[in-house]
Chain A
Amino acid sequence: MMTSENKTTIGELNPALLNNLLEKYSKESKISKWDLGASSSKDISVQVQDGNAKQLKGSQRNSLTLRVWNTNNKVGITSTSDLTSEGIKKAMKGAIEASRFGNYKETPEFSSLAKSPLKNIKSTVKNNHRIDELLSILKQAEKKLIETHKSIDSVPYNGLSENYIERLYINSDGANRYMKLSQSSIYLYAKAQEKNKKPRSAGGIRINSNLEELDIEACIDETSNKLISHLNYQPIETKKYLICFTPDAFLQLINAFSSMFNARSIIDGLSLMNEESLGTLVAVKNLNISDEGLHPENVGAFSFDGEGTPTQNINLIKSGVLLNLIHSEATARKFGVNPTGHAGLGAKVSVSPDWLVVSKSDNEIDKDETLSVKTTLKEYILIDELSALHSGVKASQGSFSLPFDGWIVKDGKKTSIEAATVAGDILKVLKNIIKIENEQIVTHQGISPHIWVDNISITGEA
């Protein structure tokens, strides 16, 4: 049992305390090798409706994942949200039990980089605000948004939150990582209704490290402008179109197919790519895609991953060529490279991208230099947001069929599309890009310019 001298405040992990506990319990259990990842968070959030508070929420959450290597070098894990000493002891017992079923053909090891120096991420932990302050801000935002247009009747989905998160990784080999950060976010999803027309809706999201710098005005403007532009809508004909993906939509699409860059998925046969794909041309020559968890705009960045590996920026596609993959310790060992800082923690470790950045190679020319979202007059479809990615994407086959919000644009005039789906094959999309615009736009999920692709199937309700 812990002593009172070790007291910490709520929402704060204590690496030394956890380390001591694990040393004690591992000795008792004859476990010589273990590691753990833990996180703690506290957050408050508000929702409003018609100028009144609807639901106000707060939470304080802890979680811990413990991994042990048994005497046969088989690995077992347990997760728990019970961070009492008894809870941790129970987790140790569970992990040892699970280790009996560890996969001897694929035993994870400690990351070779778990003790290497970390990049200094400029994370900030700001003073939190009172819930009534958040409420007042969100009420104002709701009111302001509704007042931007007479047809906007409500903001049925909205929220303003402030989160504090901390994370640690420690292992029996002496690795010790700890970091904390704070975040603030707002989402506004408004609805408009005009007489004898269908209801229309649109939304916006902003995230920042603190409430003072959260661009609420931009979120209101974006939501309002989008929604107003959807009021005048029309059905569209089913056929193939010239498409322009907004940065948000293109990042959604790439994220949905990120198993292309995922070494774990490749090993498991779940990816469109295979080991031979590395070094081959998989996209047009002027496309670059990198994963940049350390990008200064990524306010949610942690300096290490679930295995304690430092977060790194990785070029995934460079000038159309698949250059690198994202790795955990185990996949990196199989590929003979270093882990990349994208891992979770588990008996079988998953990997995922942090912050995708799409850009254009300087030395390559677009197939159609004339295209520009600001000046193009010929007909095209501007796809702004894709829906149902969980059901409409076949990541292992490359195909997608997705509803979207967007506009048909002709002579520079945007008309909202009543309802439609876009369908295609991701590899064909990557090879049929005809224009990558120069301006890179920061979104809440990464960075991308507008991307133009020709000859894509759109199904309308007309």
Chain B
Amino acid sequence: MTNSLLTKQSENLLFHTFDETLKPQIEDLLSLGKSAGADIVEIFLEKSDNISLLAEQDAISSVSPSFGIGAGIRVFLGKKDGFVSTNDLSKAGLLFALTQALGMLGLEIGSQNKNNFEGLKNLKDFGIDKNTWLNDSPDLNESTIKLLESTKLLASKNKNLQVRRASYSRNWQEVIVAATDGVFARDIRLHQTVGINVIAIKDKHRSTSARRYGSSGNPNDLRNWDIDKSSCDLNESAQKMLHAEYVEAGQMPVVLANKFGGVIFHEACGHLLETTQLERGTSPFHDKVNKQIAHKAVSAVDEGLSNYAFGSISMDDEGMEPQNTLLIENGILKKFLSDRAGSLRTGHPRTGSGRRQNFSFAAASRMRNTYIKKGNYSPEKLIESIENGLYCKSMGGGSVGPTGQFNFSVEEGYLIKKGKLDKPVKGATLIGEAKEILPRISMCANDLDLAAGFCGSVSGSVNVTVGQPHIKVDSITVGGR
């Protein structure tokens, strides 16, 4: 076995373009895996070219390009699987990884000699129209100019800003997936995201505010970013929260704003509908298909199809095209999100949801663009229906525990008094349990909108979209002081 530093150029798959010409070499590996007795062998090859930039105040403080290569090889035998990842894309490196993965399941190359592998299908190339994406994206020069413009504009909007930061990342990834069931697919992915955040200080008061924007598959996204609108939005939030008092804790009705408010559904319900959770026996919804799990006002979907949405994909990381998956219809659970392993272990059909951060993770069932569908009310109607409660205009991050308990921080919140928005409050956390909260989402507004985010789980951090219209939760625990 040689170190990848020493491999000869001619032996290294890295130096091939990711195209049909890789077929014979991949077929050789897959064939060896089958001859060892594996039920399925799957190979994932990846190249990446990423850039991240940071502007602080009026200077670029960090420019960090990074390049990656790698492969993940997974072998299934019955319901168990062995997965090995490596940076070594030489033939010898891949063979070693395959041998390791087989060995994990007690299999040895050539030992069974039962090779019923029929070869790969013709390459299904989802990347064919995307070959220019990398060059079409903004270069370092253009990106730095845009970021500095944004931090300058932030300064002009608010003189109380102690910290002004803008970050940009452009992630380009080329992948090939091949498996012994014949799947042979290539794709190119392009994600861009801009984050802006500020710390405002006046006397003893401090506030922090942040926003993130992102897209998938649009080389012009940074160019199209509306800096003026973003900086106005951020400054307004920072200014309002500067003098906010801490929220008083307790049970109360809340209205959650659209876009990133959808993080509550993502965490509180979406994760529990992944077969990854079903496999563990930790989802309270495991036996609830075709049963009421939410208020009849709630319908929700997960899909990978919306134009430019951060969680959209042409194919998942197992080479399958994404579906528009109806999760909940009028409160009734319809379907789970499933990947290859999840399907094998739970019986739920694959939905094009097998996703991973990169080659070093095995794919798992993960969300894509997940949102509650719009209802019939105006957002104002939801607020008007509350005597005393909380309006959550902007949510921070959140998480869900192994048995469905969730929590979210509220970045920008306002009290609701007699059906109207009142003073801003800070320090609020929403806590609860999925199966108790879903029946309490009693009203959905007509202003569905989506927001970009990152989701961390068993197969790493993946790009997702969360979303919803304004929704009303009849009662939820608000943590505060």
Query: Which A residues touch B284, using CB under 8 A?
Result: 199
B56 A97 Cβ-Cβ under 8 A: no
Which B residues lie within 8 Å of A388 (CB)?
Answer: 397-399, 407, 409, 429
Q: Shortest Cβ distance from A212 into chain B, in angstroms?
A: 22
Question: How many angstroms between the C-alpha atoms of A90 and B61 in the bound complex?
Answer: 23
Mark each residue of chain B from 94 to 116: 1 if its CB lies under 8 Å from any CB of chain A, else 0: 00110011011110000000000
The answer on a CB contact under 8 Å between B68 and A392 is no
Contacts of B280 in A (CB 8 A): 49, 154, 156-157
Indicate if B324 sits at the interface (CB-CB under 8 A).
Answer: no
> Quick check: B67 and A87 within 8 Å, CB to CB?
yes
Among residues of A, the one whose C-beta sits closest to the C-beta of B106 is A132
* Partner among B12, B206, B249, B282 whose Cβ is within 8 Å of the Cβ of A84: B12
Question: Whole-angstrom distance between the alpha carbons of A267 and B68 in the complex?
Answer: 32
Task: Tell me if B208 and A394 are in contact (CB < 8 A).
Answer: yes
B137 to chain A, nearest CB (A): 15
CB atoms of A156 and B68 under 8 A apart: no
Chain B CB within 8 A of A403 CB: yes
What is the CB-to-nearest-CB distance from A458 to chain B, in angstroms, rounded to a whole number? 8
Q: Is the CB of A56 within 8 A of B429?
A: no
Interface status of A363 (Cβ within 8 A of chain B): no
B80 partner residues in chain A, CB cutoff 8 A:
52-56
Verify B429–A392 contact, CB threshold 8 A. Answer: yes
Q: Is B84 an interface residue (CB 8 A)?
A: yes
A6 to B63, CA, bound (A): 33
In the bound complex, what is the Cα–Cα distance between A201 and B96 (angstroms)? 39
A347: Cβ under 8 A from any B Cβ: yes
Contact partners of A131 in chain B: CB under 8 A: 103-104
Q: Are B403 and A201 in contact (CB under 8 A)?
A: yes
Contact check, B3 vs A391: say whether CB atoms are below 8 A apart: no
Chain B positions within 8 Å of A232 at CB level: none
Question: Per-residue 0/1 for A401-426: is the Cβ within 8 Å of any B Cβ (1 yes, 0 no)?
Answer: 11100000000000000011101100
By beta carbon, the residue of chain A nearest B52 is A79
Contact status A1-B398, CB under 8 Å: no
**In the assembled complex, B396 has its CB within 8 A of some CB on chain A:** yes
Q: How large is the interface on B (under 10, 10 to 19, 20 to 34, 35 or more residues)?
A: 35 or more
A459–B64 CB distance below 8 A: no
**Interface assignment of B62: CB less than 8 Å from any CB of chain A:** yes
A384 at the interface (CB under 8 A from B): no
Contact with A along B48-75 (1 / 0, CB 8 A): 0000011010011111111111100000
Q: Does A279 contact B (CB under 8 A)?
A: no
The CA of A76 and the CA of B383, in the complex, are separated in Å by 51
Contact of A269 among B8, B68, B163, B246 (CB under 8 A): B163
Q: Is A189 an interface residue (CB 8 A)?
A: yes
Q: Are B428 and A401 in contact (CB under 8 A)?
A: yes
Query: By the criterion CB–CB under 8 Å, are B360 and A387 in contact?
Result: no
Q: Say yes or no: is B479 at the interface (Cβ < 8 Å to chain A).
A: yes
- Say whether B8 contacts A1, CB under 8 Å: yes
Residue of B nearest to A2 (CB): B6
Does A105 touch B at the CB level, under 8 Å?
A: yes
Interface flag for A295 (CB, 8 Å): no
- Enumerate A1-30 residues with CB–CB distance to B below 8 Å: 1-2, 4, 6-10, 12, 14, 17-18
Query: CA separation between A394 and B205, bound complex, in Å?
Result: 13
A59 interface hit (Cβ, 8 Å): yes
Chain A residues in 8 Å Cβ range of B82: 55-58
Contacts of A101 in B (CB 8 A): 53, 60, 63, 140-141, 144
Which residues of A have CB within 8 Å of B398?
388, 391
A173 interfacial contact with B, CB 8 Å: no
Which residues does chain A contribute within 8 Å of B141, judged by CB atoms?
A: 101
Bound form: Cα–Cα A401–B282 in Å: 26
Q: Which of A53, A58, A86, A403 meets B405, CB within 8 Å?
A: A403
- Which residues of B1-42 have CB atoms within 8 Å of chain A's CB atoms? 1-9, 12, 14-15
Alpha-carbon separation in the docked complex, A388 to B397 (Å): 8
Determine if A256 is an interface residue (Cβ-Cβ < 8 Å): no
How many A residues, CB 8 Å from partner?
Answer: 89
**Does chain A have a CB within 8 A of B162?**
yes
Partner-binding segment picked from B85-93, B170-178, B444-452:
B85-93
Within 8 A of A (CB), among B433-464: 433
Residue of A nearest to B49 (CB): A94
Question: Does B481 count as interface, using CB distance less than 8 angstroms?
Answer: yes
Is the C-beta of B149 less than 8 angstroms from some C-beta in chain A? no
CB <8 Å contact, A238 and B250: yes
The answer to the question of A372 belonging to the interface, with a C-beta cut-off of 8 Å to chain B, is: no
Distance of A390 Cα from B208 Cα, bound (Å) = 15
Residues B6 and A8 in contact, CB atoms below 8 Å apart: yes
Q: When each residue 131-143 of chain B gets 1 if its CB lies under 8 Å from chain A and 0 otherwise, what string results? A: 0000000001100
Most chain A CB inside 10 Å of its own CB: which residue of B104, B279, B362, B480: B104
Residues in B whose Cβ lies below 8 Å from that of A132? 106
0/1 interface trace, chain B 196-222, chain A, CB 8 Å (1 if under)? 000100000011100000000000000
A444 at the interface (CB under 8 A from B): no
Q: How far is the CB of B459 from chain A (nearest CB, A)?
A: 11
Q: A55-B80, A388-B399 are in contact. Are A83 and B429 (CB under 8 A)?
A: no
A85 interface hit (Cβ, 8 Å):
yes
Instruction: Tell me if B478 and A459 are in contact (CB < 8 A).
Output: yes
A102 touches B104 (CB 8 A): no
Interface string of B326-358 (1 = CB under 8 A from A): 000000000000000100000000000000000
When distances are taken between beta carbons in the complex, the residues of chain B under 8 Å from A157 are: 280, 402
8 Å CB interface, A77-101 against B:
77-88, 90-91, 94-95, 97-98, 100-101
> Is A10 a contact partner of B88 (Cβ separation < 8 A)?
yes
Partner of A100, one of B8, B54, B140, B403: B140
For residue B188, CB closer than 8 A to chain A, the reply is no
Known A-B contacts A82-B69, A156-B280; A62 and B87 likewise in contact (beta carbons under 8 Å): yes
Determine whether A217 belongs to the interface, using a CB cutoff of 8 Å to chain B: no
Is A348 engaged at the interface, CB distance under 8 Å to the other chain? yes
Inter-chain contact B427/A98, CB cutoff 8 Å:
no
B44 contacts the other chain (Cβ, under 8 Å)?
no
Question: Within A313-346, which residues are at the interface with B (CB < 8 Å)?
Answer: 346
Interface presence of A368 (CB below 8 A): no
Q: Do B3 and A423 have beta carbons less than 8 Å apart?
A: no
Decide if B474 is an interface residue (CB 8 Å cutoff). no
| Most chain B CB within a 10 A radius of its CB, from A9, A83, A132 | A83
A97 CB contacts on chain B under 8 angstroms = 65, 140
Answer whether residue A103 sits at the interface, using C-beta atoms and an 8 A cutoff. yes
CA of A14 to CA of B3 in the docked complex: distance in angstroms?
A: 10
A432 interface residue (CB < 8 Å to B): no
Contact of A348 among B54, B86, B207, B362 (CB under 8 A): B54
Q: Which residues of A contact B426 (CB under 8 A)?
A: 399
Q: Which residues of B contact A62 (CB under 8 A)?
A: 4, 87
Contacts of B162 in A (CB 8 A): 269
Report if A198 contacts B (CB, 8 A). Answer: yes
- Give 9 nearest A-B pairs by CB, closest first: A391-B397, A421-B479, A156-B280, A459-B249, A56-B104, A79-B66, A459-B479, A58-B84, A199-B403
Q: A56-B104, A78-B64, A94-B67 are in contact. List 8 more A-B contacts (CB 8 A).
A: A8-B3, A81-B70, A87-B14, A388-B407, A396-B163, A457-B249, A457-B480, A461-B432
Can you give 25 contacting A-B residue pairs, CB < 8 Å? Answer: A6-B6, A56-B81, A58-B84, A59-B84, A59-B86, A60-B86, A61-B70, A62-B87, A80-B68, A81-B67, A81-B69, A82-B67, A131-B104, A191-B281, A388-B409, A391-B407, A396-B208, A403-B479, A419-B405, A419-B431, A419-B477, A421-B249, A421-B479, A457-B481, A459-B431
